[in-house]
Every structure is written in structure tokens, then in C-alpha cells.
Amino acid sequence: MTPAAAARPVGIVSRRIADYLELGKPRVVLMVLVTTAAGYYLGSTGTPHLGLLVQTLLGTALAAAGTLALNQLMERDLDARMARTRHRPLPDGRLQPAEALVLGGALLVAGVVHLTVVVGPLPAAVTAAIAVVYLLLYTPLKRVTPLCSLVGAVPGALPPVAGWAAARGTLGPEPWVLFAILFFWQIPHSLAIGRLYRDDYARAGIRLLPVIDRDGPSTGTHVVAHCLALLPVALLPTLLRLAGAAYFVVALALGLAFLASGIMLARGRSAADARRLMFASLVYLPVLLAVMALDKVAF
């Protein structure tokens, strides 16, 4: 056998593994893990239990990857119509729907079972709720109404609640403040992305607000309204004694800068304005969570 012939099966296996990984959207899973870890750390009393955190993140990663794989299965026809997604494994034909169904279902069930047995029933229940809302509400609504963005913000905002539940075993007002921060942050973030790729979304028949609102006034109004709502909500961790005064100052500065980017999009309505807002959103959340964790008030 020639070296080229010997290397061919290895290349096929490597391609297969890469396709399976892509099905689980590792970058999105990483974002879920970061927000889950933030909720766990903020909910911990005293020194966080590292072993329990690792088990929480393992179960969360499995469930998140499974949910995202099933989402790609459900949207493979839409992905085939969009330039940015048509080369994904399912629309490109590199993986079959049955493979995605088995892999996604197995990962989701494994993640929820792992959380239930090893971590606790409450974080498992929150994680299961994320999958249900994402797959059975948000995913089909994307074809029907621009209100899908509001529904989709719910599962996107629940990971820190699951992390808090894993650390405490109970829920109080604090994790719901974390939920509200992520919820209000997601709307400007997702609308900025929708504005950047609205022609792609329109070809697929996805009824995001920037697709329906071609001129942009309604999109701008929603962006500014949610940036305004986020501004005071993001200050609540200090008022609830979850974080200190340094966090309050940073959260206020970040919120004002984020609001300014939202106002620019509302006024200019251009792709450049949307790109600026998307960049601002990608800076806002990790910095906010990092400062909140660094300035955490000891329980």
C-alpha cells in the first residue's frame, strides 16, 4: 500500500470526527460553559468545589452539544439555503439525518442524566428546560415570527441559573438577575447579527426582525429599548450584595457604551453600525461577568 493510500482512511476518519464536532457547535458550547461557570462561581459559598464544577460543566457540555446537534437536524433545509451555513455537515451531505438524531439525542440524554445523578436534580431540570424551549419553541418559531428572538433569549439566559443551582441546590433572586442580564443582552446582540446577515436569513425564510423590518426603525427601537433595560438590571448585583462597588462602576460604564452603540445602529441602520454593535456586545458580556466574579462579595 502506498503512503497516499494508507493516509486516505485516516483522513476520512479525521473528517468524520470534525463533522461530528461541528454538529455540536463547540464555540457556542464554550459560551454556554462560560456563563454556567460564572453562575456556579457566583452561587458558591466559600471556596468553590472544583470537582462539582467540573462535573457540572461536563453534563452541561454534553446536553448543549446534543441540543445544538438536534437544532441543526431540524434546520438542515434552512441551512442549505444560506451561504454561511450551506457547508455544514448535514446540508452538505457529509452526515445523514439519522446520524445527527442518534448523536444529538444520545448527548442530550447523557448530559441531563449525568447532571441528575452526579450534580443534582435542579440543575438537570434547568438544563432540560433549556433544551425544550430551544428545540420545541425557538427553533420552529424562527420560520413564523420575529418574536422568536425573545423566545430564543430564554434558553440563552438560563445557563448561569443552572450553574447557580448546581452550586447551591436552590434558587433565589440572584440567579434570576443573572438571567435578566443575559436576556436583555441577547436581543441587541442577536438583532445586530440579524442585520448583518439579513439577506441570508431572508433566503432561508427565517423571519427575524431585521428581515421583516427592511428599513430598520423597528429593529433600532428594540435594540435601544433592550440596551436601556439592561443598564439598570446590570447594576442589581451590587444592590443585592452579590458584587461590590467596583463592579457597579464598570457595569455602568459598559452599559452606557453598549447603549451608545445601540443608538448608533438605530440612527445609522447600516451594516457597519450593526458590526459595531455586535463587537460591543462581544466585549460587554465577558468583561461584565469577569468583573462581577472578581468583585464578588463573600457569602
Q: What is the pLDDT of residue 47?
A: 82
Q: What is the pLDDT of residue 48?
A: 86
Q: Is the pLDDT of residue 95 over 80?
A: yes
Quote the distance between the C-alpha of residue 183 and its chain's center. Answer: 10
CB of 207 closer than 8 Å to CB of 142: yes
DSSP codes of every residue in 45-66: SSS--HHHHHHHHHHHHHHHHH
Beta bridge partners of 8: none
Q: Is the pLDDT of residue 6 over 80?
A: no
Residues found in the chain: 299
pLDDT confidence of 7, banded at 50, 70, 90? very low
pLDDT confidence of 5, banded at 50, 70, 90? very low
Give CA–CA dist 153/133, Å, rounded.
Answer: 10
Nearest to 129 by CA among 85, 179, 174: 179
- Kindly report the pTM of this predicted structure: 0.92
DSSP 3-state of 92:
coil
**Residue 251: which residues within 8 A CB-CB, separation 6 or more?**
234, 235, 237, 238, 288, 291, 292
Q: Where do the structural domains in the chain lie, given as residue ranges?
A: 1-171, 173-299
The better pLDDT of the pair 99, 216 is held by 99
Q: What is the DSSP letter of 215?
A: T
To the nearest whole percent, how much of the chain has pLDDT over 70? 96
Q: What is the pLDDT of residue 11?
A: 61
Give CA–CA dist 287/279, Å, rounded.
Answer: 13
Q: Is the pLDDT of residue 23 over 60?
A: yes
Determine which helix (DSSP H) or strand (DSSP E) holds 111, and give its type and residue range: helix 97-114
Range of lowest pLDDT (67-76, 153-162, 200-209): 200-209
Q: What is the pLDDT of residues 30-54, one digit of tens each?
A: 999 999 999 999 999 888 889 999 9
DSSP codes of every residue in 157-186: H-HHHHHHHHHHSS--HHHHHHHHHHHHHH
- φ, ψ dihedrals at 53, nearest 5°: -60, -45
The position carrying cell 454556554 is 32
Range of lowest pLDDT (8-12, 23-27, 227-231): 8-12
Nearest to 193 by CA among 135, 274, 124, 272: 274
Phi-psi region of 78 (alpha: psi -120 to 50; beta: other; left: phi over 0): alpha
Q: Which of 9-13, 129-133, 205-209, 295-299 has the largest mean confidence?
A: 129-133
pLDDT confidence of 264, banded at 50, 70, 90? very high
Q: What is the pLDDT of residue 16?
A: 86
**Residue 216: which residues within 8 A CB-CB, separation 6 or more?**
195, 210, 266, 269
pLDDT confidence of 9, banded at 50, 70, 90? low
**Region 43-68: what's the mean pLDDT?**
95
Q: What is the pLDDT of residues 141-197, one digit of tens each?
A: 999 999 999 999 999 999 999 999 999 999 999 999 999 999 999 999 999 999 999
Range of lowest pLDDT (13-17, 39-43, 182-186, 275-279): 13-17
**Torsion angle (degrees, nearest 10) of CA 144, 150, 151, 153:** 130
Q: What is the pLDDT of residue 10?
A: 59
**Residue 188: which residues within 8 A CB-CB, separation 6 or more?**
223, 226, 227, 230, 258, 262, 277, 281
Q: Is the pLDDT of residue 83 over 60?
A: yes
Q: What is the pLDDT of residue 289?
A: 97
- Spell out the CATH class of 1-171: mainly alpha
Nearest to 32 by CA among 182, 165, 243: 182
**Region 211-218: what's the mean pLDDT?**
87
Give CA–CA dist 101/66, Å, rounded.
Answer: 9
